[in-house]
Amino acid sequence: MHIPVLLKKSIKSLKIKKNGIYIDTTFGFGGHSKEILKKINNYGKLYSIDRDPFSIKIAKKIKDKRFKIIHGLFSNIKKYCKKYNILKKVNGIIMDLGMSSMQLNNKNRGFSYKKNGPLDMRMNQKNGISASEWLIKTKEKKLSYILKKYGEERYHKKIAFNIIKNMKKKPIKKTCQLSKIILNSTPYYKISSAKKTFQAIRIKINNELKELKKFLKKVLNVLAPKGRLSIISFHSLEDRIVKKFMFNYSRKFPNLPSSIPLTEKELKKINQKKKKIKIFKKIIPDKKEILKNYRSRSAILRTLKLK
């Protein structure tokens, strides 16, 4: 089971029009999608996307003519909108980033540092290479860099060194093999020490931050006037990207390097071409939600509205 995070608040933030067109970019177990379907009428439409074939299987059980499931990446949102003839007609988009509990709790997917299983970590096992294969072809310096950048791991050098050293003896094929090496590389010997490294490798394997950036580049051209975008992120790396994007578009003048000499007139011209948005105050879960669903503790919801 997957308990959707900030479900009511995120759906409320979309200010759903009964006959509107909506996109759920991260279907997962369908928590947000089902809530949207409750709010739209017979003229409304919901398109949901997920890269994980398992989510698609679940979505296909929803028999509702207002609903369409798309198997693919949310970075392709513009392509899908063109295909379904909804470009610039979308009234609201919801994005609930990260892994679903189904992915994390299934030991065969290899996302969990606590459960032993094949070291895979792909959200779509039919695409790309597994974490185990990636480790084999990655050099120590690059691995250390990824752990630092995507995991903000303090002991990135030591962990990378020990992973490579161990792999010279035998390949790391199982999650618990990797967790053990990480535990032996940090001073605490606590299982939670493996969390950051697992996060970093998962982000790398699934290109998660690149996917988000590619999506953000396209999303404002997909929304209808006054359309809304709500994004729930779970760690500072994602939230930083979302926040920077929203702040940049809500500013009077774009975020240009100070070294570019431009007159006010030139700046105004650039600004006229820029999409105008309004941003809303960020929302975080209350204590009650965190107690009910511990996974929600780090969630941040940010919403923008096209002017």
Ligand X SMILES: C[S@@+](CC[C@H](N)C(=O)[O-])C[C@H]1O[C@@H](n2cnc3c(N)ncnc32)[C@H](O)[C@@H]1O
Q: How many beta carbons lie within 10 A of that of residue 264, not counting itself?
A: 9
d(CA 68, CA 48): 6
* Site of tokens 């535990």: 183
- Applying CB under 6 A, does 305 fall inside the site for ligand X? no
The span from the CA of 37 to the CA of 19, in Å, is 11
Half-sphere exposure of 36 (CA within 13 A, CB side): 35
Selected from 47, 74, 113, 150, the binder of ligand X by CB under 6 A is: 74
Q: Interacting stretch for ligand X, rule CB under 6 A, among 48-56, 174-182, 195-203, 261-269?
A: 48-56
Among positions 36, 49, 90, 220, the unique one binding ligand X when judged by CB under 6 A: 49
Binding residues for ligand X, how many (CB under 6 A)?
21
Q: Does 52 participate in binding ligand X (rule CB under 6 A)?
A: yes
- Which amino acid belongs to residue 140? E
| Residue list 159-188, contact with ligand X (CB under 6 A) | none
Token pair in block for residue 201? 């490798």
φ/ψ (deg, to 5) at 66: -85, -5
98 is an interface residue for ligand X by CB under 6 A: yes
Selected range binding ligand X among 28-36, 241-249, 263-271, 274-282, rule: CB under 6 A: 28-36
Q: Does 50 bind ligand X (CB under 6 A)?
A: yes
Note whether 73 binds ligand X by CB under 6 A. Answer: yes
Interhelix angle 140-151/195-205, nearest 10 degrees: 100
Residues in touch with ligand X (CB under 6 A)? 2, 4, 26, 28-32, 49-52, 55, 73-75, 96, 98, 100, 123, 211
